Amino acid sequence: MEILGIDIGASGIKGAPVNTETGELTGARYRLPTPESAKPGPMIELMGKIIHHFKWSGAIGCGYPGVVINGITLSAANVHQKWVGLNAAALIAEKTDCPVCIVNDADAAGLAEMKFGAGRGHMGVVLIVTIGTGLGTALFTNGHLLPNAELGHIELGGEDAERSASDAARKRGRLSWKKWGRQFNRYLQELEKLLSPNLIILGGGSSKRFSEFSQYLTVRAEIVPAQLLNDAGIVGAALAAQDCMNGEGAGMTTPPAHPEFGRDEVPQDV
């Protein structure tokens, strides 16, 4: 089956068609920078451009950087607050005229790594941490996902862990890999106290530089870099959509027969 996966990020929105049987992208990844406002309207407009780029008319899966329950986005740590409480699945379906499934982006990346990447075949507790503008986490027990485990927001040193352990924190502070690696290690130590994972998989943009900071990580659990790297969110979004189509989770949100807004319009209040 081929499904279009879209990874909605705080710095970029990217997508590609995915063969959900092999995990391979069947077209070159297409990326657009996230609008400065990070409001839903402009970001959904860009999703429409990605769909137009691929001349897509089938199902799409979207990974969103925050909590998603039944197609509704319930948090917005690194995008505009207008996403909070939004029926994003319905709005995206109406805008794009495509059936939509939307899930937490770290959960999407985790699904991809567990099926096609570094987590394949692993039982026990597997923790995936995506390191980017924020810190995304996905938690699996014997291959089963606990959705929306937003553990990037645990308290670390009296503040949100993202403030010191994300890649954005490294860049903002112009930190060496050594200094940032030690800060990130403290974050992993806290997670290990809480979860006792058997395996930790590190994904997101910083995973490409794993060798630069891996020597500063001292937790007991085995730590490995993600194998799908920046494609994990796209592949996992497509897998999530396939699950929705098979009746797992919230199911697909289909476009309305009589749209309230034109196909090229997004309501101005978002």
Return the number of other C-beta atoms located less than 10 Å from residue 57's C-beta. Answer: 11
Name which of 92, 68, 112, 95 is nearest 249 in CA terms: 68
Residue 39 contacts by C-beta under 8 Å, 6 or more apart in sequence?
Answer: 79, 80, 82, 83, 270
> What is the tens place of the pLDDT at every residue in 192-218?
999 999 999 999 888 889 999 999 999
Task: Give bridge partners of residue 137 from the DSSP assignment.
Answer: 129
What is residue 71's predicted lDDT score, i.e. its pLDDT? 95
Residue 192's H or E segment, with its range, is helix 177-195
Give me the mean pLDDT over the 156-181 stretch.
95
Q: How far apart are CA 162 and CA 77, in angstroms?
A: 10
Residue 176 pLDDT more than 90? yes
The Cα diameter of the chain in Å comes to 57
What is residue 80's predicted lDDT score, i.e. its pLDDT? 96
CATH 3.30.420.40 for the 118-227 domain, yes or no: yes
Residue 152 contacts by C-beta under 8 Å, 6 or more apart in sequence?
Answer: 77, 106, 129, 134, 135, 136, 137, 160, 161, 162, 166
Q: How far apart are CA 265 and CA 255, in angstroms?
A: 14
**Right CATH for 2-105+231-245 from 3.20.20.100, 3.40.50.1010, 3.20.20.140, 3.30.420.40:** 3.30.420.40
Domains of the chain, residue spans: 2-105+231-245, 118-227
- Domain pair 2-105+231-245 / 118-227, same fold: yes
Output the pTM of the full model: 0.92
133 vs 148, which has greater pLDDT?
A: 148
